[in-house]
Structure 1
Amino acid sequence: MIKTIAIIVGAILVVGGIVYVTQSGGPPVDVVTASLAPIQEYVDEQGKTRLPRTYVISMPFDARLGEITLEEGDHVTKGEVVAKIVQEDVEAEYDESKAAVERLAASIRETGDKSVEQTTRQQAEFFVDSMVNTVEAAKTRMTASRSRFEYATTYLQRVQQLIDKGAKTEDDLDRAQLQKVESDTDFQTDALTYQAILSIDAATKLLPSMVSQYIDRKDLSVAVLQQQKAEAEARLRTAELRMQRSTMTSPVDGIVLTKELTSEQQVAAGTTLLEIGQLSQLEVEAEILSQDATRIKPGDRAEIYGPSLGKEAGHGIPMKVQRVYPTGFTKVSSLGVEQQRVLVILRFESGQLAQVLEQHGLGVDYRVQVRVYTEEKAQALVIPRSAIFRDVSGNWQAYAVSGGKLQRRNLQLGLMNDLSVEVTQGIESGDQILISPAASLSDGAKVTPIENSP
């Protein structure tokens, strides 16, 4: 029973369709009226927010880091302390370096004092001068002793000759002999004294040189101490620099983007502690296919949209192309295809970023959809993109409806995007154009046009 009813209903529908087609002259088709309208060419691509520069706070040297109380998202001001090394460690190093400099400075003052040595050298010079007279006196005394000895010898010889003649007595001879012995002894003593004084004089003449050499050695010691002091001062400057760097401050007014460490611990030099950025410098980057990037230039109008912003294409947040990178890079798509892409940077319109941040809560590395308008016309003859197709020769064509029949027309196109296309030749304003033509349709076929909104 149910099958019978279904067959009857189907038959009725087929008969009704045949009657409709016969009466209307052809099957119904959707058409739009070609009209003048604005059109834009654009490039659509995924993008993400970024900062042109971030400020990394890192460990300046190996040390023990105190607890960091800041958290991601906290606002900081320029000069605000964001991290701090345990101060007892750097203060102890500074005090030790300072004490070493002061100790060496005292040693230099002590070693550099030459007052005692200068006095000693003056005394030595006086000794040298006085020894000149002493040597002369000893020499004179020795000469006199030699003369007395020579006289005593001559006198003894005379007495011996006079003894033989009876002019002198034995007593005179004894006295002459005694005088000779005494004068000989005096001469030998004075000669030895003279030689000794000569030796003392030679040694005395060395005293000023010895004192000068000692002073020179003190100068060398001072130079060594000064070098040691310079090294100690360098260590002191390093300790002072560490004291300064031990307190790390924010270089800008900004926000904490990342925080790597929290609790107090020993940390190696160069370890990243915090990353600070300025959301007021937020921009958007998009990786554009290189063949599309050639049509983009700085200053082009753009927009961002998508679910994260609650905006649709064509009604997004306006932006401008800031920079197109001069070099591309290879990226593998989700389908495993290697693509050559170029990085394009977009900047917000003046004064708009603060409002966007407040309304949409954008942060760094947020995913957005990017549309860059490469060319625009305020008035052009526009039809839907779905109305055009290519023939076997690759020419663009479309079906126009005239007098209830299809007319295949060759087209010359201008601007084109995903939804619309500009026709510069082949149709006129007001022509009815078939939308999404079926492959079964042909030129001259009868149809019944049904107008659609463009």
Structure 2
Amino acid sequence: MNIPLRNHPGILVVSVIIIALLTWGFWPKPISVETVQVKQASLTVTIEEDGRTRVIDRYVIASPVNGMTCRMHLKVGDSVTQGQNLLGITPLEAPVLDSRSRAQAEAQVSAARSALKSAKAQANSTAAAAHLASDKLKRYQPLIEKGLISQETYDQAKAASVTAAANHRSANFSVEVANYELQAALTTLEYSAANPHDSNQERVAVNSPINGKILNVNRKCEGPVSTGESLLEVGDPSALEIIVDVLSADAVKIKPGMKVLFDRWGGDKPLEGIVRLIEPVGFTKTSALGVEEQRVWIVSDFTSPTEQWQRLGDGYRVEAKFILWQEDDVLQIPSSALFRYQDGWAVFAIENNQAKRKIVQIGQRNGLTVQILSGLVENEKIINHPSDALEDGVNIEERLNK
């Protein structure tokens, strides 16, 4: 038997409540979103890298000769003037002779003395021959005038006299050579480290080429040095440049004359500079993650007044910001509000508490902010960090920022 529902109002009420609860449970809820406003402000596109200062004119003082340097009394930071004597280099001392070397040196002295005696005897012999030939020529002189001897006999006597005189001079030169060889042999024995010589030794002075300061000291103690060995470095810290290594892909965007800002150098405000040189040769550098990168050195000069950066020295760290593009009134939004759509870019705007997809055209971007060329207007609200749940026409509710 069918019983009308109007006779049981409780069942009707419960049914209505259940239907309402099911409808409320399955009804799509608004998605909570974070919103930002499109604004008009200045925008700067930069490349940021760490750099360091470097003295422009850096002079490496090297040893001009082989010798022994004195103890270095100059220290890093000491001021020097042009022409100031920095250090001196003396010749190396002769080595100590062992028993064999000393015996050989004494034998060479004996041989040199014998050679000197032989040369002197030869000189005496040639002197006698030259005297005899000269006397013979003098006796032939009156005879040739009276015609008592032939001209040929006289010419032969004259030639013999000239030859004997030349032999005598040659013998005298041989005596001098033998004497020098004896002195050289004696020097080997006399000038030895075991028998120091008391005479003043010649000393080569090394002077400063500029007015500046000592930047580095490579040799502090007395010791032997060879020609070309670096001793110290001198430079003028008041003439600084900044070198920064950037990725080669970023280096092609930087041009000479571009403005640079130097921050985190220790001062109260950033310093200004200008790019002077982009080196044409790159180099390979391994990053902190172990990735090999091709990088390029960028050389810049300070344009800020000298008194603002005079506390900087050689090798100080700075953070360089190369300004690629800058404009004051730019319509912009956060880069996090953009997403890819149909080979372009789009954002979700808010209209009547619903998400409205809008295609936009972008311009310059600096990583955090992007320039909007078309598609949005100033003060328009858009959704930041859109999730995959958002679609065109979906109900939304603005999340309150705490």
Report TM bin, short chain. Answer: 0.5 to 0.7
Q: Which residue in 1 is equivalent to 2:396?
A: 447
Assess, with a 3 A threshold, how the Cα gap between structure 1 residues 447 and 418 changes in structure 2: closer, same or farther: same
Residue pair 1:44, 1:372 contacting (<8 A) in 2 also: yes
Q: Which residue in 2 is equivalent to 1:165?
A: none
TM-score (norm 1): 0.60
SS at match of 2:139: helix
1: distance between equivalents of 2:284 and 2:247? Answer: 10
Q: Which residue in 2 is equivalent to 1:395?
A: 344
2: distance between equivalents of 1:133 and 1:51? Answer: 89
Q: Which residue in 1 is equivalent to 2:63?
A: 59
Q: Which residue in 1 is equivalent to 2:142?
A: 130
Please identify, of 398-407 and 414-423, the stretch whose mean Cα deviation from structure 2 is larger: 398-407
One of 380, 388, 392 as aligned partner of 1:431:
380
2: distance between equivalents of 1:435 and 1:215? Answer: 114
1:439 positional shift = 3.2
Q: Which residue in 2 is equivalent to 1:43?
A: 47
2: distance between equivalents of 1:405 and 1:333? Answer: 46
1:423 positional shift = 0.7
1:74 positional shift = 1.7
2: distance between equivalents of 1:451 and 1:243? Answer: 87
Q: Which residue in 1 is equivalent to 2:21?
A: none
Question: Alpha carbon RMSD of aligned pairs, Å?
Answer: 3.9
Q: Which residue in 2 is equivalent to 1:291?
A: 249
**CA deviation map 1:343-362 (0-9, x unaligned):** 1112111533x42132xxx3
1:210 positional shift = 2.7
1:416 positional shift = 0.7
Q: Which residue in 2 is equivalent to 1:368?
A: 318
One of 356, 369, 376 as aligned partner of 1:407:
356
Residue pair 2:273, 2:304 contacting (<8 A) in 1 also: no
1: distance between equivalents of 2:55 and 2:173? Answer: 55
Q: Which residue in 2 is equivalent to 1:331?
A: 285
Q: Which residue in 2 is equivalent to 1:345?
A: 299
Residue pair 1:289, 1:342 contacting (<8 A) in 2 also: yes
Q: Which residue in 1 is equivalent to 2:308?
A: 355
Note if 1:84 corresponds to 2:109. Answer: no
SS at match of 1:280: coil
**CA deviation map 1:264-317 (0-9, x unaligned):** 2222222211112222222222221121111110111111223x5266xxx632
**CA deviation map 1:182-211 (0-9, x unaligned):** xxxxxxxxxxxxxxxx69x97654332233
Q: In structure 1, give the amino acid aligned to 2:395.
A: K
Q: Which residue in 1 is equivalent to 2:260?
A: 302
1:425 positional shift = 1.5
Unaligned runs of 5+ in 2: 1-23, 94-129, 177-200
Q: In structure 1, give the amino acid aligned to 2:139.
A: F
Residue pair 1:401, 1:449 contacting (<8 A) in 2 also: no
Residue pair 1:287, 1:344 contacting (<8 A) in 2 also: yes
1: distance between equivalents of 2:140 and 2:69? Answer: 69
Q: Which residue in 2 is equivalent to 1:266?
A: 224
2: distance between equivalents of 1:78 and 1:390? Answer: 65
Q: Which residue in 1 is equivalent to 2:332?
A: 382
2: distance between equivalents of 1:411 and 1:217? Answer: 109
What does 1:108-257 align with in structure 2 at a 5 Å threshold?
127-132=139-144, 136=148, 205-214=155-164, 246-257=204-215
**CA deviation map 1:118-164 (0-9, x unaligned):** 9999976653342236774xxxxxxxxxxxxxxxxxxxxxxxxxxxx
SS at match of 2:280: strand
2: distance between equivalents of 1:66 and 1:60? Answer: 15
Which structure's CA Rg is the greater one? Answer: 1
Q: In structure 1, give the amino acid aligned to 2:364.
A: L
Q: In structure 2, give the amino acid aligned to 1:71.
A: K
Residue pair 2:55, 2:240 contacting (<8 A) in 1 also: yes
Residue pair 1:260, 1:273 contacting (<8 A) in 2 also: yes
Specify which structure has the higher proportion of strand: 2
**CA deviation map 1:380-418 (0-9, x unaligned):** 111122222223x55222222233222222221111102
Please identify, of 53-62 and 395-404, the stretch whose mean Cα deviation from structure 2 is larger: 395-404
Assess, with a 3 A threshold, how the Cα gap between structure 1 residues 328 and 126 changes in structure 2: closer, same or farther: same
SS at match of 1:365: coil
Unaligned runs of 5+ in 1: 1-17, 90-117, 137-197, 226-241
Residue pair 2:66, 2:91 contacting (<8 A) in 1 also: no
Specify which structure has the higher proportion of helix: 1
1: distance between equivalents of 2:369 and 2:334? Answer: 4
Q: Which residue in 1 is equivalent to 2:370?
A: 421
1: distance between equivalents of 2:370 and 2:334? Answer: 6
Assess, with a 3 A threshold, how the Cα gap between structure 1 residues 129 and 70 changes in structure 2: closer, same or farther: closer
Residue pair 2:134, 2:161 contacting (<8 A) in 1 also: no
1: distance between equivalents of 2:266 and 2:351? Answer: 45
1: distance between equivalents of 2:91 and 2:251? Answer: 54
TM-score (norm 2): 0.68
Residue pair 1:329, 1:342 contacting (<8 A) in 2 also: yes
Residue pair 1:127, 1:204 contacting (<8 A) in 2 also: no
Q: How many residues align?
A: 319
1:446 positional shift = 2.9
Assess, with a 3 A threshold, how the Cα gap between structure 1 residues 221 and 443 changes in structure 2: closer, same or farther: farther
SS at match of 2:281: strand
